Amino acid sequence: MDYKPLYKAMALTLNAYHNCVKADNKDWELKHFEKLTEYNDSLPSGSGIDSGCKIDIESSTDNIIIINFGYHFMDENGYYDGWEDYKLIITPSLSFDFDLKIIGKNRNEIKDYFYEMFDFTLRQLTE
């Protein structure tokens, strides 16, 4: 089997999906769409990311991947304390494979945690 980091697998599948859309190849378009949906299951879920992560298939390309997710904050007593929506933007980097940018509030310095979590996740090998 040919294993590659998750971010590369997503980029290659996005490219194939959009090429099938342009070529009106419905069979392979659906197969690639289903594979992209499966990749959502490989992205972080739980521990505050209570509704999982979802690739924005229509806005993403092989050179920019957009992932939408939300985070459920808790206060110091363990009670839910609000919800924030975030957008992760993955772009190529010649030096470090990819760059990450997170759009959304940096409440409680949460973005540092997100950057670490997504960097680790996106480098994991997949088929």
pLDDT recorded at residue 28: 98
- The tens digit of pLDDT for each residue in 50-106 reads 899 999 999 999 899 999 999 999 888 988 889 999 999 999 999 989 999 999 999
Average pLDDT, whole number, for the chain?
95
First to last CA, the chain: 7
- Provide the residue ranges of all domains of the chain, joining segments of one domain with +: 4-126
pLDDT recorded at residue 75: 87
| CA dihedral over 43, 58, 60, 22, signed as positive or negative | positive
Reported pTM? 0.92
Q: Tell me the percentage of the chain whose pLDDT exceeds 90.
A: 84
